[in-house]
Every structure is written in C-alpha cells, then in structure tokens.
A and B are shown apart, each in its own frame.
Chain A
Amino acid sequence: DVKVTQSSRYLVKRTGEKVFLECVQDMDHENMFWYRQDPGLGLRLIYFSYDVKMKEKGDIPEGYSVSREKKERFSLILESASTNQTSMYLCASSFIQRRNTIYFGEGSWLTVV
C-alpha cells in the first residue's frame, strides 16, 4: 500500500516561530503537494514539487516555503508563523497527476497561538 507519512499529527506553535512540517512517501512518486484545509474553503494548494529541488507555487504560497532535497521527502516551512496559519495541512504524492490519483497523508493540525 502507498504510504504518505506526515511527521506531526498535532502541533501548537507560538506566533513568530519557524515551523517545519515534514512529509515522506514510500512509492517513488515524482509529484508531491502541500495543501491546507479550512472549513468552507476545501483544500487549497500551497506548493507542489514535480522533482527533487523543483517547486512551483500553488494558489496560496504567501507565508510558506518548501524544500525537496530528496525524492521521498517534501517539507513545508512557515518562516514566521501567524495565527491565520492555524489550519489542517495535508501532504500528498502521485505519479503522473493527469491520469493517476494522488495519495494523502493523515494531516497535521497546526495551531498558532
């Protein structure tokens, strides 16, 4: 079975802290994604990566950065956390997205206080 593992399930951070959310997949997928999910807004794409060291901005990249040093790992970084970044963050991965489905991790609940 495909496994997408997010390192932290629940985090509480203070405003201004640097936050790292880690994601690892074990299926040799080229594509990896970070979404955030908020009530009534569905999932919004923050960043995605289609290869090591490659990244593209999604719909809401402001306040976030990403790192993909290895194919299996995709990190989301909040340089200076703010309360409006309190959300559920979902990592996902896939092969060729046009025809294949994407696989999600269990999500990371981040609260910024």
Chain B
Amino acid sequence: SQQGEEDPQALSIQEGENATMNCSYKTSINNLQWYRQNSGRGLVHLILIRSNEREKHSGRLRVTLDTSKKSSSLLITASRAADTASYFCATVSREGNKLVFGAGTILRVKS
C-alpha cells in the first residue's frame, strides 16, 4: 500500500528555476526520506528528515516536514538539466521497519 503521495505527478521548469515537490502521508512516522531515480536506473537516497525535525538542508536541497499536516516538501533551488529525474518520498512508520514509497514526481528541467 502506498503511504506517501507526491504532488505534482509531473513538473516541467526552466533551468535556474526552483522546483518544489510535495508529499503527503497517512500514518505517524519515524522518519521521511526523499530519493531520486534517473530514467531506468535504481533509486539514490537524497535526504532523511526525522519526525522531530522541521527542516533540513543538503546543498541545493531543502526539505521541510509538517507532522501536524502529515506532509513534506522537497525544494531544489537553481535547478539544472541534470536534476531531471523522478523523485520519491518514502516513510518509515513508528511501528514498522520498512520503507513505503509514493508514486513519485517526474521532474523535467529544460535547458
């Protein structure tokens, strides 16, 4: 069953613009993670935010978490064509030990 649901399903922007992707989930979580997948390849971990954290940065990535709304957002600043990929959020519940993924957002950055 899907826990996280990403929004939008697809996003197309110009190089240099910021890209924002949102994720909503249903149950209480221990942490939320964002992954990136280049076309036809495996997933690569980007960033993890714990349930007691509200914001985290990593390079051009900024992740926020609002546990009251059960939502998270991933912001990529100053996007590049190489950022073109699918982005997935995934959650680990407080009780469980497995990662549950959403359907992903397809990001296309045009140069």
The residue in B44, B45, B48 that gathers the most chain A C-beta atoms within 10 A of its C-beta is B45
Which residues of A lie under 8 Å from residue B44 when comparing CB positions?
104
Residues of B within 8 A of A (CB-CB), count: 24
CB <8 Å contact, A98 and B45:
no
CA distance A109 to B43 in the complex (A): 14
Residues of A within 8 A of B (CB-CB), count: 27
Give residues 63-107 of A contacting B (CB, 8 Å): 90, 92, 97-99, 101-107
Which residues of B lie under 8 Å from residue A103 when comparing CB positions?
45
CB <8 Å contact, A42 and B40:
no
Chain B binding surface, main DSSP class: strand
Which residues of B lie under 8 Å from residue A11 when comparing CB positions?
none
CB <8 Å contact, B42 and A97:
no
Q: With an 8 A cutoff between CB atoms, is A45 at the interface?
A: yes
Chain B, Cβ-Cβ closest to A91: B42
CB <8 Å contact, B98 and A97:
yes
CB <8 Å contact, B45 and A45:
no
Return the contact of A42 from the options B2, B41, B42 (Cβ within 8 A).
Answer: B2
CB <8 Å contact, B101 and A43:
yes
CB <8 Å contact, B31 and A42:
no
Give residues 1-43 of B contacting A (CB, 8 Å): 1-2, 30-31, 33, 35, 40-43
> Which residues of B are interface residues toward A (Cβ below 8 A)?
1-2, 30-31, 33, 35, 40-45, 48, 88, 90, 92, 97-104
